[in-house]
A and B are shown apart, each in its own frame.
Chain A
Amino acid sequence: MIKKFTIIGSGAAGANAALTLLEKGHKVEMLDYGKLDSAPLEISQTFKTVKSNARLAASFFYGNDFSGINGPNDTDIFKYPKRRPSISTTNLYDNEENTDQFQPIFSNCKGGLAVAWGANSIEFNQDDMIGFEYSKQDIESSYKVAFKRLHVSGPVHEDDLSSIVNASYKFNSSHDMSSADNNFIRSAKLKNKFFLKNKNVLVGQSRLAIDNRLNSDNKCYSCGLCIWGCPSNSIYTPLKTLKDCKKFENFKYINNVKVSHFKSDNGAIKYVVDKSGARYEASNVILAAGAINSAIILLKSFKENKIVNNNIIRSVGLLDTEVIKIPYLSLSKIFKKFTTDKIQFNGLLAMVKNENKNFPLWTQVELLSLGSLIYHPLLKKIPLGVKNSILAFNLIKSMLGVATIFLPDKYSDKNYIEMDFSGPRDKVRYSYSSTEEKKALKEKVMKKLKNYMRSLGSIMISSQAIEAKNGSGIHYAGTIPIRASKTRGCVNSDCKSYDFTNLHVVDGSVFPSLPSKSITLNIAANSIRVCERL
């Protein structure tokens, strides 16, 4: 039977839900508020050629207003310039308060936050899926579809990470690795060969959602411009899936719609209402506006439909990956030639095993060999004056790398989104703090990683660790989580709402715990799983 679905949001969850439903023959109407991201440079430009033109480079890397240059108090190494509206600290709902506790990053773009993601694609393992109420086996077939849609590429050879990725998903051939990363992998292999293999830390080449198929028009040409927008369109974004959706006659895309809430009757959603008051008739609704905005829409709907009569309503939870960046020096690279022509992006990945069984099993660590255009924020951290800092930097730059740790998260009743309906204007507040248990986990992960890196001849400089502000992990989840029993503001294992009979939630909101692994692939796979059953 052909059904009609109304999907809210065009990110990884929404786009993959739409394509899955369309492939099954259903009708899909997508409501979106996405603008287009800035156009990337034309093909043939590389990091090196851009830097050979000062005018182009300055505006491209930093934006015309130079907002991409880190200020004295910035805590990140990279800063997205304003030329990319896909990344913004301003939500389209623009009525937030208390953002000093939790400063989320939003995307007001078609394709959502995944338009500017890092492309890392490692699936959740069973031991990562704490509280998911469905097993890895239940989602295997959906991962296969997601791997195909995202064109995940990875090494054809075996490495440490092979033990936690499913080879049957069929990776495309791997991307190029820098000589520095090759050396690192070689050191890890030598260590594994002659010493006892460390099963607590796995290191390997990143599995990335980069189109590396030989005959593809979008094949990656290793330009090194990934974080500023891929010129060859090789990195997967949901816009590709959206393009596939538009090939179906049953697909209707309505843009410039800021969804506010649902209007229901007898527990079933009748209309989706936008900020201007316009109503869209709905028989089956798929909520995929991102973990934060989906929660805001649901809480507002509770108020509008008098499901909850309080003026202050909270989401069940709020999860995010805490991010820590730690510089390290690899002694093996001391005499190696260094090039400033490229910035190495997501070349290597490490997974550190957590001992605390309450948290998802693996902690993801991205190992980045420094290339160029990221020196100046680090120079500020060397207390020698700028000239001396540059000299010191030139001595160690070929050895320098940065390990970025993404900590997993689990439910805490202190972390939530709160909506206040008492005033003339609805307000959104975030409550988020790190628990003692999480702090202990962080210490243990850092210690394990430090010991492992030392065994490969790399010194981690923990004293120079940069801890990002709460909310900058960008992997938001857990606001409308899966629960086994009926709970207000939650969904069941099929991601069906307990509050509205014809509502499914398919974005990161539904994850009851947050594994550390990059979230886009896993959101896409779960969205496909849910929609395959509808």
Chain B
Amino acid sequence: MKTEFNVLSKYLGGVECSDNYLREVYEAKFGRCDLNFISSIWLVVYFKDILSIIGFNKTLNVKLLFLVALLEASPAHKNLFPEKQSILLTILMAPILVLAFLVSLFFK
């Protein structure tokens, strides 16, 4: 059994957040919740997160956004938003952005 805070912080940043203060704040707002093995699998959380696009799991969405805000204002922000750009992703993204720019030239 893992706590929801541990599972979600790992899901967002890749590593579990070990800061007790942030855990206390999170649990003061949403309550302490232990997740079973299935619910703590990364893919399951990801699936639930994706489903929030079509209106499911709104609570999870609210929890994740609150956690992003908390982690962003802490040393853990570098896990969420690393300073180093991924070269591979940048190379993949560059043509799309250039294309978007060219397309935008034809719109008012």
Contact = CB atoms under 8 A, between A and B. Distances in A.
Contact of B74 (A51, A379, A384, A459): A51
A38 interface: no
Given A51-B77, A58-B22, A376-B72, A398 B62 contact: no
Given A51-B73, A62-B73, A379-B68, A338 B83 contact: yes
Main secondary structure of the interface of B (DSSP, over half): helix
Give the size range of A's interface with the partner: 35 or more
Given A340-B78, A340-B81, A387-B12, A54 B22 contact: yes
A61 to B, nearest CB: 5
B19 interface: yes
A54 B76 CA distance: 9
A387 to B, nearest CB: 5
A335 B84 CA distance: 10
Contact of B108 (A383, A394, A447): A447
Nearest to B74: A54
A384 B51 CA distance: 9
Main secondary structure of the interface of A (DSSP, over half): helix
B81 A393 contact: yes
A340 B73 CA distance: 11
Interface string A312-349: 00000000000000000101001101111000000000
Contacts of A375: 68, 72, 80-81
Interface string B34-74: 00000000000010011111000000011011101110111
Contacts of B61: 385-386
Contacts of B86: 394-395
The list of the 10 closest CB pairs from A to B, nearest first, reads: A54-B74, A386-B64, A57-B73, A385-B49, A376-B69, A385-B50, A55-B21, A69-B69, A376-B68, A61-B73
Given A52-B75, A386-B61, A386-B65, 19 more contacts: A51-B77, A54-B75, A58-B21, A70-B69, A335-B85, A338-B83, A340-B77, A372-B72, A376-B72, A379-B65, A385-B49, A385-B52, A386-B52, A387-B12, A387-B46, A390-B81, A394-B82, A394-B89, A395-B86
